[in-house]
Structure 1
Amino acid sequence: MRPQLLTIEVTRPDAGTARLRLTGDLDFDTAPELVEAAARVRADGHRALVIDLSGVGLCDSSGLSAFVVLRQGGAGPVRLTGVNARLQQLLDRTGLAELLAGQEQPAAGAVDDVPEVG
């Protein structure tokens, strides 16, 4: 099976929040793309990040590391949405679900009705 390339669609629902919708595989080859995309939107002043993972088929340890980099290196919260059961299990086992859930969340209404998963 061939790995799926990662595409990242960025929307900016408000002045302080950016939503990154990922489609494909988040792995060793593509995790740096997520980190770079997040750095670009944060450089534009969007501190809060909503990472929509509903289109992600595979997330390996490099993808998990990217979440840690975004959480620790950012100036605002990171919220994961669209997390499938297998990825949720990885987040729970590694403690990342707790790390990411322990952050201040974006203001109510900041993101267009995306339920938080986790």
Structure 2
Amino acid sequence: MRATITEHRPDVAVLHLQGELDADTAEQLRAALAGLLDRPVPRIVVDLTGLKFCDSIGLSTFVISKEVIAARGGWLSFAAANPFLTTLLETVGLNRYFAIFPEVDDAIAAGQL
């Protein structure tokens, strides 16, 4: 898995994920999120466009990060999930826990509300 971060507006970071997120690569996700979680009010959009697979370890990393972010008054949302990831998030019920948007720009705009 590869993770890159871009800044949108002064207060929103977009975490772009590519490849497969599993037990072997979850540490890369944790490392990428670590710096973003240090922000006073983290606002993060996870761009799932290039993510082809995610297992339970990856999902739990997102859940734990969201709990930290919410405690600080921030938010974490998903954007551009492929059909596999959309089905996965619905099957495990995380579509009720995370805001999921069709495009990154939609997620950024919704965060302004």
- Fold conserved between structures, TM > 0.5: yes
Normalized against structure 2, the TM-score is what? 0.79
Residue identity (%): 33
Q: Retained in 2: the 8 A contact 1:11–1:19? A: yes
Higher share in helix: 2
Query: 2:22 is matched by which residue type in structure 1?
Result: D
Q: Residue 89 of structure 1 aligns to which amino acid in structure 2?
A: T
Alignment counterpart, residue 78 of structure 1, candidates 76, 79, 84: 76
For these two proteins, the number of residue pairs brought into alignment is: 101
Contact 1:16 1:48 in 2 (8 A): yes
Which portions of structure 1, spanning 4 or more consecutive aligned residues, are displaced by more than 6 angstroms? none
Report the CA distance between 1:15 and its aligned residue.
Answer: 2.1
- In 1, Cα distance between the equivalents of 2:22 and 2:41? 25
Q: Contact conserved, 1:78 with 1:100, CA < 8 A, in 2?
A: yes
Look up the match of 1:3: none
RMSD: 1.9
Residue 12 of structure 1: how far off its partner (Å): 1.1
Q: CA deviation at 1:19?
A: 0.4
Cα displacement string for residues 39-91 of structure 1 (whole angstroms, at most 9, x for unaligned residues): 20232446111000110111111111111111112231111111111111111
Tell me which residue corresponds to 2:38: 43
Secondary structure of 2:97's match?
Answer: helix
User: Aligned partners of 1:46, 1:10: CA distance in 2, in Å?
Assistant: 17
Q: What per-residue deviation string (whole Å, max 9, x for no partner) do you get for residues 4-51 of structure 1?
A: xx1111011122211010111111111222122112023244611100
Q: What's the TM-score once normalised by structure 1's chain length? A: 0.76
Structure 1 residue aligned with 2:2 = 7
Q: Aligned partners of 2:99 and 2:62: how far apart in 1?
A: 12
Q: Tell me, which stretches of 5 or more residues in structure 2 are unaligned?
A: 101-109
